[in-house]
Each structure stands twice: as C-alpha cells, then as structure tokens.
Structure 1
Amino acid sequence: MLAAESTVELFLTLSLVILGIFSFNLLLLTLARLLLPKRRMATAEPSDTDLPKVLVQLPLFNEGELVERILSAIMALDWPRDRLQIQVLDDSIDGSLALSRSAVAALSNAGVEIELLHRVDRTAFKAGALAAGLARSDAPFVAIFDADFIPPPDFLRRTVGALIAQPDWAYVQTRWAHLNREENLLTRIQARLLDSHFGVEQEARWRLGLPIPFNGTCGVWRRAAIEDAGGWEGDTLTEDLDLSLRARLRGWRAGFIKDLTVPGVLPVSTRAWRVQQFRWTKGFVQCFIKLLPQIWASPALPRWQKLMVSLQIGQPLAFLLGMSCIILGLPFIAGEMVAGETLSRIALVASTLGFLAPISFLTLAGTRGGARQTAQEVLGALVLTSGLLLSNARGGLEALLGYRTEFVRTPKARIQSGPRARGWSGGLMELGAGLGLLGFVLLEEPFAVIYLAIVISGLLGVGAMQILDERMPARVANTQP
C-alpha cells in the first residue's frame, strides 16, 4: 500500500512539475512580448515588370458557398494578372463542388489563369492537396488561404516583398483577424485566444528570433524552401507546423508581420470549436513525437531554442497531464492519502503559475471593449479551455499511441450533422465528468471546489453548450466584413 501511495505521489509530482514548466514558458513569452523592443523587417519594392510569379492555393473541403467570396478577394489583390496563378484545391464530397466549378469556369473564361483540382482520394488530406497543386506549377512563391479568409489587396506586395528582401526566409506569416468576433460569447473568447497567440506568442517568438510556426493559412512560402524541407507531408494533423519546423531545421528562417491582418470566420458552435481544438492538439503532439529527435540533433538551432521549440510543440500535452493530475489527486481529496511537504510546495507553485501565466498572456492581447469585457473574455477563455480537458487529453493520448484519424475541417456555421468525435455524444461526456467531479468533491472535501472551480465550470459549460447547440436551428455564421 505504501509503495502504491509513493508511486501515485511521484507521478503526481512529476506531472505538476511539467505543468509548471509549461506555464513558466508561457509567462516568459508574455514578458518577452512586453519588454523586448519591436523588430524591424526589410521589404523590397520591385517594379511591376520585376515582380515574380505567385501561385495562390485555395484548399477547400465542402465549402463551396465560400468560393466566390475568396476568389473575389484574390482577384482584388494588387498584383499583375499575368504573374498570378490560382488553384482551387477542392476535395469536396458534397454538392459544393459544383459551385467551385462554376466560379472557376467564369474566371477562366475571363482570361484568368485558374484551375480546379479535385481529388477523389483525399490522400494526406490538406497536405496532399497542396502538394498535388504545387506539382502543377513552377511559380517561385506560393500564397495559401483557407476559404473563410479575405486577404487585403496589398497582401502580396508586403509578404512577397519581405521574402525578396530576405532570401534565407522560407515563408512569411501574417496575423488573423475575425469577421464574426462579436457574434456571441464563444466567438469573442476564441478571438481573445487567437489574438493572444498572434499578438503575444508569435510576436514574442519573432522578437526573440525563435522559429515562427506557419499557421496553415494567410502566409506566403518560397517554393525552394518547401522542396528543400521535403515537401508537404500528411502524417500529422498539423501539416503547417510540421513543414515550418522541418524548414527551420534545414536552415531556413521565417518572418511575422503583426500589422498585416487577414480577417476570417470563427466557429459559432461549441462542438465545431471542440473538433478544431482536438485536431490542433493531436497534430501538435504528433509533431512533438515526429520532430523532437531531429530538433535536438540539428545544428541549426542553439540549445535554448531547441528547448523553447520543444516546449512549444509539447504544450498541448498539458491537457493530458492536467487530467492525470485530477485523477491522481482524487485520493488526496478523499483523505485516503496525505500529500508530503514536497508535493504540497510543488502544487502551490504549479497552481500559481497556472493562473498567473495564462491570465497575463490573455490580458496582454488587448483591452478592447473595456476592463469589464476583457475580464469576461479572459475568464471565459480559462473556463472554456478547461472544458476541453477530456477531448484534448484524448487527442494527446491518441497521438502518443500512434492512433490515426482523418483531417476534419472545422465547420464555421452552426450545423446539426457536422463532424463529431467518434463515440462521443455531443456534450454528455463533459457534462457527466463535470457533475461527477463536483459531486465527488462536495461529498469528500467541499473546500476543494474552490481549487477545482475552473475545471468543473469548464466541463459543465462546454457540455451544456454542446447540448444547446444540438437544439438550436442550423444557420450560417455572420461572415460580412
């Protein structure tokens, strides 16, 4: 019995230590963003006659209703038409493919260099579509946009100009904005989370000289870098992170343009958001397993950067570790085990960092709407992210076990028959776990409710919101600029 107690305490202590390290890393990035000076970026401004050819790739899957809008935005780009090649990479399996064909045919008849690529076999999913399109072009630069984003007219001038000025850069990543930020509380919370990622984390990495991960859309790649890094690969669910890190390990660098924003659409339903976060979490952990040995063996990165990159791609494991801490902590809540002095101190430090780091990180993203709205969004982000504990922990565990799942596009509209995590009834798992944890704590140690309030509230909130989503009528998200 004593051996079992020691084992539980050891694993709980190790889990809390790792969680504390993840939180400390987030706090360091927040401080770097706050204290380090802005970094300048050189940009070339070649004449129109010297501008290079650019391939614009638009990967779609069952999103035909967005194709006309994204093509209108592409046609409005300030770039010579004879230097612009457009590919609509539509692997749709619903009726939306006809909309893509119609839109592409209309532009083709008007003299635009555009083609539609439709694959019956979705091998490697988005990565496979991008690779298939790249093989049909010789353009030296490649811009990539998901269908729900609207690039501004000067997008190529600024991004390609930066790549021309820095020949050792593989790509330039720009910042996402949000067309439907104010649609509901969920979209405001998502916007806060993404603003923190781009405005704090990405900007901090840029100022520190750390590798800038590609976010899958709203960026321009140098074709030579894609090929040198081994091309697009579909063995992870985050092909964007995978390729960007492989390019860095080959010696390529990247740039981040914070003040060049590209507005897109946020998911309006909790279930769609959960599907998206599951994919991102699992994909990051897959990259962690795939690339960690290469990162530490590479001469392209100094050791401190290897450590920072390892923490970056391993960060989503915090969900799996967090769930482990809750399970391992149940005997202590019930009074069956008593925490030693070391565990108590580590738990205090990890908990302090676990609150201080994300609150600072989320708050630094901005205070638009005033202090009250900012506090609401920050608290909401903490609660709802905690509500993803079960789903994201499962994603991390599946990645560690090598279990493969398909790439599921995130639906932006509220739908009643969209992608659902296999075997997980919408919201019932989170709701049941939240109620079970609440009941256990109230029976065994009511004071512990304070410590677990955010997790319990998150599970109950995410569970209830998904159940409400099922009962609300299907509708399209507000996507007007």
Structure 2
Amino acid sequence: MLAAEPSVELLLMLGLVILTLLSTNLLVLALLRWLAPRRPLRPWALADAELPDVLVQLPLYNEGELVERILRAAMALDWPRDRLQVQVLDDSTDGSLEVSQRAVAAARREGLHVELLHRTRRTAFKAGALAEGLARSDAPYVAIFDADFLPPRDFLRRTVAVLAAEPGMAYVQARWAHVNRDESLLTRVQARLLDSHFRVEQEARWRLGLPVPFNGTCGLWRRAAIDDAGGWEGDTLTEDLDLSLRARLRGWRSGYLLDLEVPGVLPVSVRAWRVQQFRWTKGFVQCFVKLMPRIWRGSELPIWQRLMISFQIGQPLAFVLGAGCLLLGLPFMAGTAVAGSGLGSIAVVASVLGFAAPIAFLTSAGTGGGPRRTAVEVLGALAFTSGLLLSNARGGLEALLGYRTEFVRTPKTRAKGHPARLRWRNGFLELGTGLALLGFVLLEQPFAVIYLALLISGLVGVGVMQVFDGAAPSRLLGLRRGA
C-alpha cells in the first residue's frame, strides 16, 4: 500500500466537507420547518367590481390532448370572463398544434377570451414563449399553468387577493399535488421528493422570509415585478428559478400558499423522470453560475440570506461532488492508498450526515399511510435519487462548463402505440456502472458494500427500469400498488 498523493487526499477531503455542508442544509431546513414561526398571509377580500384583469398563460410543447383538459380548467376559473385573458402558447412540432386549434376554437365559442400563439422558432424555449405572450397583454397579473396541472376554481380568487394586499410581493406560489401518486413505486417516490420540497423546503424558506422559488407553474405573478426584474430569460433551463431570484435581488418578496393545492401528473417512467431531473439539475447549476456573482456582489440581502440562497441553488452540485468523491475514493477502497486520520474522520461525518439528513428531510414531508409506507418511500427516494448520480452529475458538469443543451419536455404518460420493451442502450450506463461497482467492491473491500448499498441498488434499479422502458416499477420490484 502507498500513501495517497496529498493533492488527491486534499481534493477528496474538500469534496466531502462541501457534501457535509449540503447535507447540513437539508437538516437545517427540516428543523426550521417545525421551529420557525408561521407567517400567515392576510389577503384582501375583493368585491367583484374590484377584480383586476388577469392573464392566464398555458405554455405547451407537444402535449397532445392535454390542452383540452387545461383549457377546461381555465374556463372553470371563478373569475369574470370580461377580465380574464387566456393564452395558449403552443410551440409544438408533433402535430399537437391541431389539437390546440380545435380546443381554442371550442373555448371561444363558449365565450372565453383565448388566444393561440404558435412560434415556428423556439427561441429561448418556454421563457421565450412566455415573454412573447406577455408582450401581447397589459394585464397587471399573470397566472401560469403547465398543461399537466389542473388549477382549482378559486385559484385566482385566492392568489390575486394575496398580491393585492401585498404591494411589494412579486408572486405567490401554490403547492403541487399529484393526480397519479399511487400508480407505482416510482410515482410514490417522486411524490415524496416533491412533497419534501413543497411541505418542508418551501415552507421553511417562507417562514424565514427567504425567497420562495417560483416552480414554473401554479403561481401568480405581478406583471410589474416581471418587467422590473428584466423579464423572462432563456439562458438557463430553469427560467422560473432565474426570474424569481432576479426579482428578489430587485427587492421584491415572494409568497407561498401551502394549503392551495394544484394537482398535476407525475412521470410514469424512469426514463422520463431522469430527463426531468437532468434538466432541473443543470438549470439550477446554470443559475448558480449566472447569479452567484450578483448575489454576493450586491448589498440587497443580508449575509445569512445570501448564504442560504447559495445552498439553495448549489444543492444539485452534490451530484457532481458525489461522483468526484466516488472516483477519488476508489484507490482507498482498493487498499492501494492509505488515508490519513483527517480524511477518515471527515468521511465518517459526511457519511452519517449524508444518510441522516435526507431521511429527516424526506420524513418531515409527512407520514400519511403509516410507518411502513413512509419507510418504503423514503428508502426508495434515497435509492432512486442515488441512481441518478451519473446523469445529474453530467448535467451539473455541463452547466459548470457552459455547455448549452435544448429544453427537453418531460413526457408524463407513455406514448400510445409504444408498449414497454427491452431497450438496453437506455439503461446500460447506470446498470453497467452499478454492477461494475458491486464487483469492484466485493473483490477489493467487501465491507464497503454496506457503505455503498444505496448507490449500487439505485444505479442497478434505475438501469433495469430504463431497460424495460418504464414498465411499472411496482411490477418490476414485486410491490403492489399502495403497499
């Protein structure tokens, strides 16, 4: 055995320290969700004669027949028709435009003031579509809904009342709910992860007075705040996070309504979920690169808020750091390099927090369904998220290097006429890496299997489910729906 190169050991220690800090951030948010005092919103009660004009934007891209459903939901909103404008922003390239044209024509016949905008060039992707639609309206409030969400009838009544009562508030975000939560283990895991974001992270940030990031849908914006922040920009894959943070740097505040649920559809295949998570990870890191200098160069925010926002947009870097630490740690697992006492201590702390903090964070989202169901979802979330290590690490690295990619829509349902079948090339990377890592550890350091069990099982599981093209994970893993 040889002593490790000082530079390798130093890089590994640095990576583990940062990972420890990111884990601590999750633990702090979980604790503050329960300890920080509530901040109730006090909306105004607006008479019908006082209701302002509202623009509802429905950005679409190859959504098929979902446009009919979201248009029906828009028509059902409890708001005077003469003060409601609806824009269907359809950049589709797969024939979905014809569905939108028929749906818009039908809505017009029923008296809805609705406009269909179609761009032949998807400049700036969703951000570009929203900006182009915004230029065609002077409504003071703008609601945004993705095609797979169904706003309740009173959505505008409740959100407009909040912004009317808070002149310094840029937008108010509602909480996502899940139409198909119990369809499979995969959808239950996604629901658990999203509930942790909305019930724990968003709620904690709201209670602390931190900016609550806009989630791209199910929110209401004040038009003046969008304009003041510089408008929609398409230089990141998370234009929603970008605009909400730019608005905060301009002095605008944000609101959050935990009890206002807007149900949406979760991706039903691992491949689709992987695409979504890649986009979100890369977009967050793009915002990290873009906005960190402005956050720390200015004096608009106190230092503690700048620090919390830095952790917020830097959290996905955990995938890049995790992949790097795994590679740097292989010589130590193989016994070809000997770690110093400092590295060993840091590794223990990072491992304990890296396991305990996410469990506390995920469990804080609620225990509905009982302890067994909660344990399955939490462990599933840890394993499946670990299985995205390679894909999300690539997304984060591409963002750090400035490599641009297109906005790829997340399909929420299996395409008709495409049944589940073996697709080895889709999951080969995760499956091959997981099996290779298992073989390496068993040969070199069998005890480390315990340490890497979640990562190996996650990589193998995500790989297998991609091979089967999103066949229901509940069948693949022998788990019944609702178990």
TM-score normalized with structure 1 length: 0.95
Distance 1:396 1:102 in 2: 40
How do residues 281-296 of structure 1 correspond to structure 2 at under 5 angstroms?
281-296=281-296
Could you say which residue in structure 2 is the equivalent of 1:377?
377
Which one-letter code corresponds to 2:342 in the other structure?
Answer: T
Distance 2:61 2:399 in 1: 24
TM-score normalized with structure 2 length: 0.95
1:96-135 deviation per Cα after TM superposition (whole angstroms, max 9, x unaligned):
1101001101122333211000000000000000000000
Which one-letter code corresponds to 2:137 in the other structure?
Answer: S
Q: Give the conservation status (yes or no) of the 8 Å contact 2:30–2:201.
A: yes
Could you say which residue in structure 1 is the equivalent of 2:25?
25
1:287-330 deviation per Cα after TM superposition (whole angstroms, max 9, x unaligned):
00000000012222100000000011011000010011111000
Distance 1:355 1:105 in 2: 53
Q: Give the conservation status (yes or no) of the 8 Å contact 1:416–1:470.
A: no
Could you say which residue in structure 1 is the equivalent of 2:321?
321
Structure 2 counterpart SS, 1:100: helix
Displacement of 1:226? 0.3
Q: Give the conservation status (yes or no) of the 8 Å contact 1:55–1:143.
A: yes
Could you say which residue in structure 1 is the equivalent of 2:463?
463
Could you say which residue in structure 1 is the equivalent of 2:39?
39
Distance 2:338 2:442 in 1: 18
Distance 2:378 2:416 in 1: 29
Displacement of 1:39? 1.3
Structure 1 counterpart SS, 2:183: coil
Displacement of 1:417? 10
- Name which of structure 1's ranges 136-145 and 338-347 shifts more when overlaid on structure 2: 338-347
1:31-74 deviation per Cα after TM superposition (whole angstroms, max 9, x unaligned):
00021222111101111111000000000001131111111111
Q: Give the conservation status (yes or no) of the 8 Å contact 2:4–2:338.
A: no
Could you say which residue in structure 2 is the equivalent of 1:207?
207
Could you say which residue in structure 2 is the equivalent of 1:303?
303
- Name which of structure 1's ranges 239-248 and 111-120 shifts more when overlaid on structure 2: 111-120
Q: Give the conservation status (yes or no) of the 8 Å contact 2:465–2:471.
A: no
Distance 1:462 1:447 in 2: 24
Distance 2:146 2:302 in 1: 34
2:396 paired with 1:396: yes
Distance 2:354 2:295 in 1: 27
- Structure 1 37/471 Cα, relative in aligned 2: closer, same or farther at 3 Å? closer
Which one-letter code corresponds to 1:280 in the other structure?
Answer: W
Distance 1:4 1:241 in 2: 41
Q: Give the conservation status (yes or no) of the 8 Å contact 2:249–2:295.
A: yes
Displacement of 1:2? 7.7
Could you say which residue in structure 1 is the equivalent of 2:442?
442
Displacement of 1:415? 3.8
Distance 2:78 2:109 in 1: 21
| Structure 1 runs not aligned, ≥5 long | 419-423, 473-481
Distance 1:324 1:84 in 2: 51
Could you say which residue in structure 2 is the equivalent of 1:244?
244
Distance 1:451 1:177 in 2: 34
Which one-letter code corresponds to 2:46 in the other structure?
Answer: P
- Structure 1 379/470 Cα, relative in aligned 2: closer, same or farther at 3 Å? closer
2:169 paired with 1:173: no
Structure 2 counterpart SS, 1:171: strand
Distance 2:333 2:417 in 1: 40
2:48 paired with 1:54: no
2:104 paired with 1:104: yes
Could you say which residue in structure 2 is the equivalent of 1:76?
76
Structure 2 counterpart SS, 1:274: helix
Q: Give the conservation status (yes or no) of the 8 Å contact 1:16–1:325.
A: yes
Could you say which residue in structure 2 is the equivalent of 1:188?
188
Q: Give the conservation status (yes or no) of the 8 Å contact 1:162–1:172.
A: yes
1:201-259 deviation per Cα after TM superposition (whole angstroms, max 9, x unaligned):
00000001111100000000000000000000000000000000000000000000000
Q: Give the conservation status (yes or no) of the 8 Å contact 1:414–1:469.
A: no
Q: Give the conservation status (yes or no) of the 8 Å contact 1:282–1:395.
A: yes
Which one-letter code corresponds to 2:254 in the other structure?
Answer: A
Displacement of 1:414? 2.1
Displacement of 1:271? 0.1
- Name which of structure 1's ranges 241-250 and 39-48 shifts more when overlaid on structure 2: 39-48
Could you say which residue in structure 2 is the equivalent of 1:414?
414
Distance 1:109 1:158 in 2: 28
- Name which of structure 1's ranges 395-404 and 2-11 shifts more when overlaid on structure 2: 2-11
Could you say which residue in structure 1 is the equivalent of 2:232?
232
Q: Give the conservation status (yes or no) of the 8 Å contact 1:62–1:93.
A: yes
Structure 2 counterpart SS, 1:148: coil
Displacement of 1:469? 1.8
Distance 1:411 1:244 in 2: 25
1:164-203 deviation per Cα after TM superposition (whole angstroms, max 9, x unaligned):
0000000000000000000000000000000000000000
Runs of 4+, deviation exceeding 3 Å: 1-4, 415-418
- Name which of structure 1's ranges 33-42 and 359-368 shifts more when overlaid on structure 2: 33-42
Could you say which residue in structure 1 is the equivalent of 2:421?
none
Q: Give the conservation status (yes or no) of the 8 Å contact 2:270–2:470.
A: no
1:260-300 deviation per Cα after TM superposition (whole angstroms, max 9, x unaligned):
00000000000000000000000000000000000012222
Alignment: residue pair count: 468
1:11-33 deviation per Cα after TM superposition (whole angstroms, max 9, x unaligned):
00000000000000110010000
1:323-342 deviation per Cα after TM superposition (whole angstroms, max 9, x unaligned):
11111000001101111111
Q: Give the conservation status (yes or no) of the 8 Å contact 1:320–1:394.
A: yes
Which one-letter code corresponds to 2:405 in the other structure?
Answer: T
Distance 1:51 1:406 in 2: 39
Distance 2:455 2:204 in 1: 28
Which one-letter code corresponds to 2:243 in the other structure?
Answer: L
Which one-letter code corresponds to 1:252 in the other structure?
Answer: W
Structure 2 counterpart SS, 1:136: coil
Q: Give the conservation status (yes or no) of the 8 Å contact 2:143–2:221.
A: yes
Could you say which residue in structure 2 is the equivalent of 1:275?
275
Distance 2:376 2:181 in 1: 14
Structure 2 counterpart SS, 1:469: coil
Displacement of 1:3? 9.0
Q: Give the conservation status (yes or no) of the 8 Å contact 1:267–1:411.
A: yes
Structure 2 counterpart SS, 1:177: strand
| Structure 2 runs not aligned, ≥5 long | 419-423, 473-483
Structure 2 counterpart SS, 1:193: helix
Query: Over aligned residues, Cα RMSD in angstroms?
Result: 1.6
Could you say which residue in structure 2 is the equivalent of 1:197?
197
Distance 2:464 2:436 in 1: 14
Identity over aligned residues, as a percent?
Answer: 73
Distance 2:416 2:307 in 1: 43
Structure 2 counterpart SS, 1:198: helix
1:375-416 deviation per Cα after TM superposition (whole angstroms, max 9, x unaligned):
000000000000000000000000011000000110001249
Which one-letter code corresponds to 1:363 in the other structure?
Answer: T
Distance 2:276 2:433 in 1: 21
Could you say which residue in structure 2 is the equivalent of 1:478?
none
